Amino acid sequence: MRWVIACVVGFVVMVSLSASGARAVAAQDDLPEGEGKKILLSSCTACHELTEVTKFRGYYNRDQWHDIVMTMKEYGAPIDDRQVDVLTDYLTKHLGR
Ligand code: HEC
């Protein structure tokens, strides 16, 4: 009986691990290459998943993305003024309304 439980637990852990791995890759692959993506991956994934950003696909216009990027900068995202512009353009183009 014990080994059955161990098997089931092992299987569930394995499936949930591989599922979350696949989701992370899918979220990244969805976004076209570019400097904006590099900034996004290096500066915007420290405090939350990339999906916290990509789930707003289609919701915000340029001003609103700019506001979000500035808010995240205030929170401590490591991003300079030039990168704010590059990233805002990127977000507007690929995830904008
Ligand atoms: C220092 C930590 C930190 C970093 C770095 C960071 N964020 Fe956030 N982010 C947060 C926190 C905390 C929240 C949730 C609180 C909130 O919504 O204000 C959040 C929420 C968000 C949301 C959801 C906002 C909403 O309307 O619910 C978006 C979109 C977002 N971040 C984008 C970004 C982007 C783009 C970057 C990179 C420039 C980034 N974040 C970097 C801390 C961070």
Which tokens hold the place of 70? 């500035």
| AA letter at 95 | L
pLDDT digits (tens, 9 = 90+) for 50-64: 999 999 999 999 999
The DSSP letter of residue 80 is -
Asked whether 41 lines ligand 1 (CB < 6 A), one says no
- What lies within 8 Å, CB to CB, of 58 at 6+ separation is 95, 96, 97
Please state whether 76 falls in left (phi above 0), alpha (psi between -120 and 50) or beta: left
Q: Which of 23, 17, 75, 67 is nearest to 44 (CA)?
A: 75
Nearest protein Cα to ligand 1, atom 2: 47
Q: The whole model's pTM is what?
A: 0.79
Averaged pLDDT of the chain: 84
Work out the percent of the chain whose per-residue pLDDT is above 70: 70
Pocket test for ligand 1, best of 75, 94, 95, 97 (most atoms within 8 A of CB): 75
Q: Are 65 and 92 a contacting pair, CB within 8 Å?
A: yes
